Structure 1
């Protein structure tokens, strides 16, 4: 290629192309054909050519932009799918954890049911056997017209029946605790405690003192009835002093109310203090006079309320049961 430029004649570009040796001879006719062909082509402005190329580039850019938008949309969908997948995995993990927890609870319930059945069959056999024996004795006394012994035996039968009734009541209370929604209502401890004390009808030599200005709560009344009935009845039952004294007090400790039931009775040995709150467990001194469910009922109520109960006792200097209650249920005057 040769370029010649002159200010008057302009610019001339000469192109040379090598012709292969086997190419047909080039004559004037062929040359004239080429001249006519090139002369017939429309002249193309460099500006127009660049503009056309730019238009093509713009079209390509638009196509690329659309492709990018499609890719971004697909990426967003993939991210959403990943989020949904993670949420599903989290839900599956939670379900598996709940299933494992349910299996553990079911295993514990089955174990408790086995223990429940054993305890019930064992503890009901004794009064039933005594009742059967006493009815046999009553029949013999009736044949001999020995009505004095009959009256005595009937009293013993009634005592055994009351033992069975107490045990069955405690079993039902323990087994149903926490399975039902219990409505809350306004409970004035200053009114509730005298009612419970009157119902227990303790012996004359045992005095029960209740501190003044006890709080009013908005809570489950049945829970407090169960707690105070068990604690006070135990304090009465196991008080071996001729001048028995039971004291009920209340104070605020941090975010809880701490209620205490103290007595000057025989006390609880240190080795028994941890296990008396377990179901079917009684202190070594009380094995023949307790169903072993009263304090476990109280302990289960504390678990349901998210509070605690504990005992303090040294030697034979009496016993103090402390339990806490949510301060949030306190009714402010």
Structure 2
């Protein structure tokens, strides 16, 4: 039910072990029947199992092995053999056909058996159930596994009832025709049933769990109803047993005892009357002896006829009848003597011969009454024992009914609660947003299956909602990014407007002024000044071209960066420095830990080139040093540092230098557009890095971070 995970690895070995045990038990019993002298020590015990029962055990073992090896033809043969044994034996025992199934195998024996052991009808019935268990147990899943398990439980219950009835006397002796099951038969059948249950336990639980709630309740109700019917049947057997004992008591010894007491009473009264007449002959007319004798003879004859009908007392009735016949002859002789006036002869017969016969009659009656009383006491004892057994049986039945009822209720409740708990777990997972949780019982019909299908719909709805939410969030992020880019573009446009209105106008105004000066010089024919002003004019034009080129480079930064390539930072830095260095006294120092990694070569090279150019251009001495080093940051970035020993940058100008068109010296003194550091900052920001300036007094260090790995998305962005 839960359920519950069952280890399957040991099942085949367990099944093979049980099958082998059943086959060995059957073969040993058959060997004992064939060779009683060889198996003399165990013969009285092994042959408690009938010959055909042993064959049934072998069929059970072969059937289990065939199930383990998936051999249906062998399973079918085993089932057929079990059903033939069971059906034919039941027909033989419960009908008048007299098939003599017990004697079928006698002709196979070398000598007549020491005992003639028939198969129990209980065993025959369980062979039929065992065949059904093999048939359903061969199917590995579905309701067949559940039926196989229920049949095996029924086998166990019947075998347990047989043990209780036979070992503890809880059932009447005439149940199942008084034929008992051998102990090893009971153990073997229970073991067989347990093997099928262990083999199909998981499949049976799964099949039970797939039933609807109504069908589970119906199954439990039917099982309890069958149990109730069984209990009622046992109670009826007990009532029939008590009724049979009462019937025996009433129709047998009690009636015999009463009849004998009546015979004894009438004989005694007639004998007393005859003796009274012998003492006082004048009483003969008053007592009317012939009539009294005739009435007594009629009554005693009727009582003797009744006693003669009871087989156990027929011999006693015959003895009484013989003695009574002698007394009848003597009474007739006594009456003739009395009529003839032979008082002395009458008195002699009445007081002597008649007394001997009467004593004989009374002695026979007393012995028969004692025998009847013993039978009455035996039946009373049997009734008391039956009553005691009935009390014990009711205690066992009530306890068993309660235990089985609790087990059935627990099974149904546990099955439902386990499924509801699984559904609840899935619901909680969905409530927490886990739409990928496995929805259990989707393949179950109705009830729990409907709940699972509904939960699946909820999961799909939540999943769709989450996808919509994620898509909305993605669009929101794109919008925010677009807005940020738009704001940045607007800021750059504002800067560009300032440049266009100020920085670009400045060279133009200078060009216009120089052209005016050249005109004036030409009019005055001052050609030396013309050459000077022409050189200054070309410088203004070149400055303006440089400004426009740098401006274009700034706006193109991060947009045409090429492909990902392997970059050796030390090699790249050395080449860039050698190309740009115009001061022989400057030299480049490279740290030992410079990386060799895959990145976008163009933007990275542009950053290094501008930093080297800036350091070389602003260095104020003929001798100096520029150093490139690197450290690894914990957030998957490298931190590169370009340091020089130049004049440094005052603190008040350190933030200004990253702006567009910002220079610390006049352009006539140091040619430049003021776009280099702004360009570097934009490139570094594009790839998620930062750039900072560190300068205290002399010397300056620019630190910028660069990602260790640039993804395709970053490249595309």
Cα offset for 1:125? 0.5
The count of aligned residue pairs is 264
Quick check: 1:168 aligned with 2:548?
yes
* Matched residue SS, 1:182: coil
Measured in 1, the distance between the counterparts of 2:591 and 2:473 equals 53
Alignment check: 8 A CA contact 1:244 1:265 kept: no
Which residue matches 2:628? 249
Which residue matches 2:692? 310
Measured in 2, the distance between the counterparts of 1:298 and 1:171 equals 13
Which residue matches 1:207? 586
Which residue matches 1:148? 528
Alignment check: 8 A CA contact 1:131 1:157 kept: yes
Q: Which of the residues 692, 703, 708 maps onto 1:322? A: 703
CA distance 1:97–1:209, change in 2 (3 Å): closer
CA distance 1:207–1:230, change in 2 (3 Å): same
* Matched residue SS, 2:504: helix
Q: Which runs of 5+ in 1 are unaligned?
A: 1-56
Q: Deviations over 1:230-278 (max 9, x none)?
A: 222222332333x34132232444565544333332211112223422x
Quick check: 1:261 aligned with 2:650?
no
CA distance 1:99–1:119, change in 2 (3 Å): same
CA distance 1:229–1:155, change in 2 (3 Å): farther
Cα offset for 1:297? 1.4
Cα offset for 1:295? 0.8
Q: TM-score, normalised by structure 1?
A: 0.66
CA distance 1:266–1:304, change in 2 (3 Å): same
Alignment check: 8 A CA contact 1:248 1:259 kept: no
Q: Please state which structure has a larger fraction of its residues in strand.
A: 1
Q: Which of the residues 292, 295, 315 maps onto 2:677? A: 295
Measured in 2, the distance between the counterparts of 1:271 and 1:281 equals 17
Which residue matches 2:505? 125
Q: Which of the residues 231, 236, 242 maps onto 2:611? A: 231
Q: Which runs of 5+ in 2 are unaligned?
A: 1-213, 219-444, 711-717
CA distance 1:68–1:198, change in 2 (3 Å): closer
CA distance 1:152–1:193, change in 2 (3 Å): farther
Alignment check: 8 A CA contact 1:244 1:263 kept: no
Where in structure 2 are the equivalents of 1:268-279 lying within 5 Å? 268-277=649-658, 279=659
Measured in 1, the distance between the counterparts of 2:638 and 2:480 equals 36
Q: TM-score, normalised by structure 2?
A: 0.33
Which residue matches 1:76? 456
Which residue matches 1:182? 562
Q: Deviations over 1:67-122 (max 9, x none)?
A: 77556544533442233123223322332343244234323322321222222331
Measured in 2, the distance between the counterparts of 1:100 and 1:83 equals 25
Quick check: 1:136 aligned with 2:553?
no
Q: Deviations over 1:172-218 (max 9, x none)?
A: 111111223521334444544454345435245x5233438665444
Measured in 2, the distance between the counterparts of 1:306 and 1:238 equals 28
Measured in 2, the distance between the counterparts of 1:74 and 1:195 equals 69
Measured in 2, the distance between the counterparts of 1:106 and 1:212 equals 40
CA distance 1:105–1:216, change in 2 (3 Å): closer
Measured in 2, the distance between the counterparts of 1:253 and 1:76 equals 48
Alignment check: 8 A CA contact 1:249 1:259 kept: yes
Measured in 2, the distance between the counterparts of 1:83 and 1:142 equals 84
Measured in 1, the distance between the counterparts of 2:653 and 2:570 equals 32
CA distance 1:185–1:158, change in 2 (3 Å): farther
Cα offset for 1:326? 4.4
Root-mean-square deviation over aligned CA pairs: 3.4
Deviates more, 1:162-171 or 1:223-232: 223-232
